[in-house]
Amino acid sequence: MAPITQLSQLDPNGTYSYADYLTWQLEESVELIKGKIMAMSPAPSRKHQTVITNLGGKLYQFFHKKPCNLFYAPFDVKLYDRRKSLLKNGEAFSVVQPDLCVICDKDKLTEQGCDGAPDWIIEVLSPGNSRKEVRLKFDLYEESGVGEYWLVFPYEQIVQQFVLDDNGKYQLRALYPGNEIAIPHLFPDLQIDLNDVFAE
């Protein structure tokens, strides 16, 4: 069978597994959300990259030489629905590349990336992100057990902080404007000055 090198060779309505994803040799970056192909946005804007660099720098300083690991995209994160069987014949149907993620369980780290939910995921939105994409990822991160999820809006200079409650549902814990100090629920010793994060 010919190798998959172009998105046009794949059925946009098909359902694919992580095993399929590993065989593709695409130039474009894609994610799988519940078996459906999601083409990633083209090269992010300068503002998007600046926010990731500024925020990632602060996280690197905090997590350096600590038990948890920080990773930047592109970095494959394989996710499972906690409410269904964790592994159905070892197959996963979701693999994403969050802008930033923190993983404290080293058993989840593989040569390919992360196998299971990170503790903390941060997505920095671009103008090209659709509401559908944002909603799909929100639901995916919630059901797979990502403990804390931040949505960062670079143009509005706002951070939404979601934390899983005891029922496995995200609750909006804080809405930080760009001139405040943001504090992760999972890492309360980390204080992030958003003035620095959004600085050009």
- What are the pLDDT digits (tens) for 149-176? 999 999 999 999 999 999 999 999 999 9
- Cβ neighbors of 146 (< 8 A, separation 6 or more) are 79, 117, 118, 119, 120, 121, 164
Q: Do residues 190 and 100 make contact, with C-beta atoms less than 8 angstroms apart?
A: no
In this structure, the strands spanning 148-153 and 181-182 are: unpaired
Architecture in CATH of 46-197? Alpha-Beta Complex (3.90)
From 147, 17, 175, select the one nearest 93 (Cα to Cα).
17
0.85 exceeded by the pTM? Answer: yes
Percentage of the chain modeled with pLDDT above 90: 63
- Range name among 62-71, 123-132, 162-171 with the lowest pLDDT average: 123-132
Provide mean pLDDT across the span 189-200.
96
Q: Is the peptide bond before 177 cis (omega within 30 degrees of 0)?
A: no
The predicted pLDDT at position 130 comes to: 66
Q: Cα(54)–Cα(56) distance, rounded to whole angstroms? A: 6
Q: Do residues 10 and 38 make contact, with C-beta atoms less than 8 angstroms apart?
A: no
From 84, 81, 93, select the one nearest 32 (Cα to Cα).
93
The predicted pLDDT at position 38 comes to: 84
Mean pLDDT (the chain) is 90
6 versus 97: the higher-pLDDT residue is 97
CA 143 to chain centre: 14
Out of 86-90, 123-127, 153-157, give the one with best mean pLDDT: 153-157
Is the pLDDT at 85 greater than 70? The verdict is no
Q: Do residues 125 and 81 make contact, with C-beta atoms less than 8 angstroms apart?
A: no
Is the pLDDT at 89 greater than 70? The verdict is no
The predicted pLDDT at position 93 comes to: 86
Burial label, 162 (beta-carbon count in 10 A; 0-12, 13-18, 19+): buried
Query: Confidence class of residue 83 from pLDDT cuts 50, 70 and 90?
Result: low
Q: Do residues 125 and 153 make contact, with C-beta atoms less than 8 angstroms apart?
A: yes
Q: Do residues 100 and 72 make contact, with C-beta atoms less than 8 angstroms apart?
A: yes
Question: Domain boundaries in the chain?
Answer: 7-39, 46-197
Query: Confidence class of residue 178 from pLDDT cuts 50, 70 and 90?
Result: very high
Percentage of the chain modeled with pLDDT above 70: 92
Structure tokens that stand for 56 in this block: 């990632």
The predicted pLDDT at position 81 comes to: 76
